[in-house]
Structure 1
């Protein structure tokens, strides 16, 4: 699988001072639909949803501190909020619209099936990859247990070390984050060691880490490549911009191309042509039964 080359693109226009859009640094080939304009995705500069998106990120960048992340790990690590089947969790996303997404304004369950079908078309023999496309956002169910969207959705980034410029809306959105002013946290490594590995890095809390913890807790059999896709698909400063490489170990670098491969399906399958979910359900239920069957603890 190719390891794609990332370049640097910064915002233009009236919001240029808000920082770079990390997705613009990474534009893989759009294999499944060449008619879609790639520039139309992850547009953090303008558009009908931009105010909602910016406000979500401002709250996220103000409140996502190392202490906050540690607190969320303690709240969610025991998976004692509810018990439900994976398909029920996916369909519950019908009630959720992601306030950080500048591309679409329809429920997340449709995006789940769009992503899975894009992967299925390109990788018909790789069923675990298709399943990852279906379930990758299911951690957003945290919003139904009182978590604010800025602790559920959006791009992720390490805490406990310097906030890099590739974080979307980097600009001045971290001014009220106390970790920004901490001499222990605002260096390149902060609390982390050189090449410690992303498994030991504290990431801003969100749906990626939540679902990863659920899958591990329930002993689901998705391979490491899929778990990396789930855990780090929102980590755009890493997989799209090449930042935070000084924290990565050898395994992270081996897994990076898999996360980048997943990213193009996550982004470029978003269209207003919604899938026939009822028709697709039986096939994807068979994948759920294979890799994460039964009633799961969340």
Structure 2
């Protein structure tokens, strides 16, 4: 991944976080960024993303520092401290060129000053076959949005389904690849917490956080005045791959509002994930005469 593509992906995530925390705009709630693709079939139904719950497994091993260096992934020190940026980079690098499936769920419940509430739940599903082919699916049922991006070593194309239209468009391959491992979201949400090693096992390390980092509010978005509660549990293997992650946070918003945020990441299918090229990819090329410029049609009623 180039530095420019990663910065682009991280910038998109920062904007998306600001939108979903602030609750800006109905259609804009979790609006599909170009790096948050979607759907694996031609169905136009949007399924409700899985609720964010803690599914982080138990790890047994050392519980007090100094921890054995050979047990620790990149970015985790023997004194138990965690450098989130290095850990997120190691996670991304360890998955590059490998076969895997990844599920990311995000939820947000905003309570306004008048007591009214709004909830958003979005999901991203990733499949990579280790040979360059990948499929990403992003679903936002509240906005009636479903975006699927398929790609390989030479091209990438997206199919976007809304309540009104179906469209096909060219995709920024580098920006999409920057999101295959969910690194931007992982780094953004882990940076909000003050993490340390809870348990260092033979091939897994459990990281936990019960407090927010000093600059947590700034890292989430301009609409957040404070992070009042933060809970995080992460299991990482010795190569740096984040096997599972569960994060929850309660934040205060400007003008008296508040929000509860939740993120979960689950990694599976290492070395055994295949990718099937969707039928709509050929349709996308036909409709755009091979140029993959945006082509849109109204959905049948």
Identify which of structures 1 and 2 has the higher relative contact order when contacts are C-alpha pairs closer than 8 Å and 6+ apart. Answer: 1
Hey, which of these two has a bigger chunk of strand by percent? 2
Q: Compute the TM-score of the two structures, normalised by the length of structure 2.
A: 0.30
Q: Compute the TM-score of the two structures, normalised by the length of structure 1.
A: 0.31
Q: Computing the radius of gyration over CA atoms, which structure comes out larger, 1 or 2?
A: 2
